[in-house]
Amino acid sequence: MQADVTIVVVPRERFSYSEESLESIYDHTKIPFELVYIDGKSPKSIYKHLKSQAEEKGFKLIRKNRYLSPNEARNIGIQAVDTKYLVFVDNDVVVSSGWLKALVNCAESNQSAVVGPLQCEGLPLHQTVHCAGGEAHVVVDVKGRRLMREKMYFHRQPLEKVRHRLTQRETELIEFHCMLVRRDIFEQVGLLDESMLNIKEHVDFCMQVAKLDGKVYFEPDCVVTYVYAPPIERTDLAYYMLRWGDDWTVKTLEHFREKWNLLENQYFKKEYKKMAWRRHKTILKPFSNYFGENKIMRKLLYKLLIEVDKKLNPYLSNSYLKSKENS
């Protein structure tokens, strides 16, 4: 039986959960599918495993010897797909039984351009809601100013407490952790915007689809979980810091604001204010705990690490740009 859907796996923020994620796809997917795996400079041990799995299971592995931004990786995947549907899956996502069939059935029955699952986060698996659809649109106020409205439904709610409220329905917001897309929509919107380097790329894409009157659906019978850091492996550090770097965040927000002609209000100020939180929580804080109960030394080390991070971050961004130009 010929597959109607291709799963496109891309790097999200690290590589150290790749094996578990890929294993879950093959364990829990019962309908026919193709798979394209985009690998952006993963550590040698991870690449060796992916290569052996590609040979064993027959999927297409595309390796780039440099780090990739998420939309850049997705675009490589889009161009390698010829099925009716494709499903973007981040390389730290664990799927559950029946996940893909539920997405395809929803797309077929509703003629959807985009379908997203009930996305959970963290461990234990499939217990804490991350996103169950949401809102993503521009509001024009009485002064004619364009303001961004974004909201995820049931964010960080225990699934067992809200499950009875979740139904298949049209929505405005689906995240790229796992997203089914009808491939021909890219003939209308073009490839994903690679100037959206690290955040809000799902918001941008969903708004583009809505602009074309494409249907975006939430399907709660598909349940997946992204298993975020911390902890992360030493070999993940460089990519993680680049992925969540200040330079990428600032450039992304500026581009997004200009693209949709948005007022730089509290929505953007909040994003600028918190843009380093992932690096601080995942890398700097754990390192500063080296001094254990010595609060003074921990505080001093933390301040030192912040200064090092500020200098290292632009270096990583510049290295990425050079590698992209030379590829």
Surface-to-core class of residue 26, CB atoms within 10 Å of its CB (0-12 exposed, 13-18 middle, 19+ buried): middle
Summarised one tens digit per residue, pLDDT across range 26-66 is: 999 999 999 999 999 999 999 999 999 999 999 999 999 99
Side-chain-facing half-sphere of 213: CA atoms under 13 Å = 0
Domain ranges, ordered by start, for the chain = 5-226, 234-326
- What's the whole-number mean pLDDT along residues 250-256? 97
Nearest to 303 by CA among 321, 285, 291: 285
Percent of the chain scored above 90 by pLDDT? 88
User: Helix or strand or coil: residue 139?
Assistant: strand
User: Helix or strand or coil: residue 265?
Assistant: coil
The predicted pLDDT at position 230 comes to 77
Return the CATH fold of 5-226: Spore Coat Polysaccharide Biosynthesis Protein SpsA; Chain A (3.90.550)
- What's the whole-number mean pLDDT along residues 92-104? 98
Q: Are 23 and 29 in contact (CB under 8 A)?
A: no
Q: Which pTM does this prediction carry?
A: 0.96
**Six token digits for residue 285:** 């804080």
